[in-house]
């Protein structure tokens, strides 16, 4: 599971859960791990169910680490299902329980996940939590997790929109230190974002991502790399090629579908392709999450469609609502981009 082979892990866990019913402590632990695997495969309803089954067994037995694991997985799954307040409460409680139980590795993972969930609602608070959690990871000697968090800080500095120079310098340093293929692939995706947004050549980065394809796990499949290629073409002014590649890639995305839909929306807007924009808007509208950044993205999609359909008042209102939500989320780069759409 930790190595990224989640489909194989689910098969083994499901078999083991059925065999462990006579052993409550083992049964509870396996159910909590199964919940985590389901959550990572976006089988969120099953993740919640498995977590609840684990909690029924673990709480009376005072299996604190198992309780924390189950609460964390349930929180992450509920957030993906569109819940906002309860997931953050569950994750905070899971982190506290793990800390009190002395399970600091679990605490570290839960706090990292909480920072991701919080980042869609309140990015400045999430960035502060990540910087604090990096210190915890380094004190525990969990240098791989520390590197992942440092990379995430570099990545989220893009939507934060305050300083790209320092994070980019830190990212280059990280890439010189990290050899683990999964972590390195994460860092390269962030590097690719900076390169595409600042007009740098990204061929070498894309080539290395291709070479690391075997290390890519759920949510980072070949389709995700192809999606970045499509975005590169879009920014190079080759929107027609980008649109074709995005349509080809979308069915293969296991996670990050909203990113693919956003690129489809962007390409359709550049080309004036109302059908492409309508398709993207319809898909983005089905996103159930209600954090500020997700709601803002839905406003952008509906406003873009309204603009292409000459419903200018609706477009203005939609872009204005998006600016408000992105500002609430602390996504200042996106505030600037959407304000440019308003001016246009």
Decide: 306 and 318 in contact? Cβ < 8 Å.
Answer: yes
Which class for 314: exposed (0-12), middle (13-18), buried (19 or more C-beta within 10 A)?
A: middle
> Over the stretch 181-201, which tens digit does the pLDDT of each residue have?
888 988 998 999 999 999 899
What pTM did the predictor assign?
0.85
What is the model's pLDDT at position 226?
82
Whose CA is closest to 30, among 13, 6, 7, 53? 13
Run means of pLDDT, 10 residues per run, the chain, 344 residues = 73 85 92 93 93 97 97 92 88 96 93 90 95 92 90 96 96 93 88 92 89 58 75 89 92 78 93 96 86 93 96 96 97 94 75
Query: Torsion angle, CA of 193/112/46/292, rounded to 10 degrees?
Result: -60
> Over the stretch 90-118, which tens digit does the pLDDT of each residue have?
999 999 999 999 999 999 999 998 998 89
What is the model's pLDDT at position 218?
45
Question: What's the rounded Cα separation, in Å, for the pair 325 and 321?
Answer: 6
What is the model's pLDDT at position 7?
78
What is the model's pLDDT at position 68?
98
């Amino acid at each position: 599971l930790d190595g990224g082979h989640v489909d194989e892990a689910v098969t083994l866990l499901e078999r083991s859960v059925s065999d462990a019913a006579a052993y409550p402590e083992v049964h509870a632990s396996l159910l909590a791990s199964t919940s985590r695997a389901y959550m990572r495969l976006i089988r969120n309803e099953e993740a919640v169910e498995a977590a609840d089954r684990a909690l029924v067994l673990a709480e009376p037995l005072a299996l604190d680490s198992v309780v924390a694991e189950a609460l964390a997985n349930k929180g992450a799954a509920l957030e993906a299902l569109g819940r906002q307040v309860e997931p953050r409460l569950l994750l905070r409680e899971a982190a506290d329980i793990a800390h009190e139980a002395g399970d600091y590795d679990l605490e570290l993972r839960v706090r990292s996940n909480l920072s991701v969930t919080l980042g869609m609602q309140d990015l400045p608070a999430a960035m502060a939590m990540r910087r604090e959690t990096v210190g915890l990871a380094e004190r525990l000697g969990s240098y791989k997790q520390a590197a992942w968090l440092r990379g995430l800080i570099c990545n989220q500095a893009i939507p934060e929109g305050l300083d790209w120079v320092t994070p980019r310098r830190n990212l280059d340093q990280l890439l010189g230190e990290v050899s683990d293929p999964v972590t390195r692939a994460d860092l390269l995706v962030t590097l690719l974002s900076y390169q595409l947004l600042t007009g740098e050549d990204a061929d070498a980065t894309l080539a290395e991502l291709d070479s690391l394809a075997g290390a890519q796990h759920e949510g980072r499949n070949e389709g995700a790399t192809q999606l970045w290629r499509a975005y590169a073409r879009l920014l190079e002014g080759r929107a027609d090629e980008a649109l074709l590649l995005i349509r080809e890639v979308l069915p293969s995305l296991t996670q990050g579908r909203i990113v693919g839909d956003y690129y489809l929306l962007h390409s359709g807007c550049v080309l004036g392709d109302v059908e492409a924009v309508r398709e993207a808007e319809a898909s983005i509208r089905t996103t159930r999450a209600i954090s500020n950044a997700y709601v803002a993205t839905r406003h952008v999609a509906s406003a873009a469609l309204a603009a292409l359909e000459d419903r200018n008042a609706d477009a203005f209102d939609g872009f204005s609502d998006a600016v408000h939500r992105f500002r609430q989320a602390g996504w200042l780069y996106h505030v600037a981009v959407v304000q440019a759409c308003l001016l246009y």
